[in-house]
Amino acid sequence: MLGNFLPKAAQRLTETTSLAFLEALERCAIGAIETAYVRRGTGEPPLLLIHGFDSSVLEFRRLLPQLSAERETWAVDLLGFGFTDRPQNTNFSPQAIREHLYTFWKQCIGQKVILVGASMGGAAAIDFALAYPECVGALILLDSVGFTNGVPPFARYLIPPLDYLAVEVLRGRTLRLQAARSAYWDRTYASEDAQICGALHLEMRGWRRAMVVFMKSGGYTFTASQIAKLDLPTLILWGAQDRILGTGDAEKFQATISGSKLIWIPDSGHVPHLEKAEITAQHILTFCQEGVF
């Protein structure tokens, strides 16, 4: 049964993978904020999956079942994103996201995790790992933001009503379809079901305001100078045909993070965890088995 906090558009989903994932979606109170997450599987240390910009845990609908067959796996909607509540007068800056994620980790997991960040989630994972090294045993970056911010630099200077109008553009069906097609190397993955998954969180209360606040904060502009400070086992997985970030940052991450390992995912765009979920999961699980965290 789908949670009553989900938008009605969830009823239009048809793919069994999407429906099964949403049926597993739960929420718990982190402070005053109802926070959406999925938890499946057993085996330590657990994996914690962090989604990308203007996205939700649904982007892990194909990857999490593969991982949880062998290891305890969590996916959580960050503060201001997905199906996590967006209370009025809440700060949705990267610093607030980091603190909320730490409280979630402390309340729900409470042991070292292998942190997996996709796109903007990679920057959030880097920020979290540096701030709370006692929480993270290893890091996995999927086509990660970090050197590239992902938020337009002019966004922080927008004033009302231009800020809300700029964010509203993100809701447009044509733009979202173009973005979805660009994210995949094989564009047949940009199905109607995939489009519903990618836009479902837009109907959550407070979406516009949270996006405005986050974008005007500047996003993860500060991570580029911090990446070299990472001192933990790191796996970099990158779609060989990434049309969103390109491929240059993959080698830049490898050169900057001491001892890191880079693996290319062939025939995959910006979202190998959706397009090549089985291969991506195999690389993650092998890294988990080989590493000493």
Provide the CATH number for the domain around residue 260: 3.40.50.1820
Average model confidence (pLDDT) for the chain? 92
Find the mean pLDDT for residues 83-105: 97
Asked if pLDDT for residue 182 goes beyond 80, the answer is: yes
User: In the prediction, which pLDDT does 261 show?
Assistant: 97
- Asked, for residue 252, whether it belongs to a domain, the answer is yes
Number of domains in the chain: 1
Does residue 3 form part of some domain?
no
**226 belongs to a structural domain:** yes
Segment 186-195, tens digit of pLDDT: 999 999 999 9
Give a yes or no: residue 1 inside a domain. no
pTM over 0.85: yes
The parent domain of residue 67 ranges over 8-290
42 confidence band (pLDDT: 50, 70, 90):
very high
- Range list of β-strands (E), the chain: 26-30, 33-40, 47-50, 73-76, 113-118, 136-142, 234-239, 261-265
104-163 residue pLDDT tens: 999 999 999 999 999 999 999 999 999 999 999 999 999 999 998 666 665 665 556 556
Q: What's the pLDDT score for residue 18? A: 96
DSSP summary character for residue 228: G
6 confidence band (pLDDT: 50, 70, 90) = very high
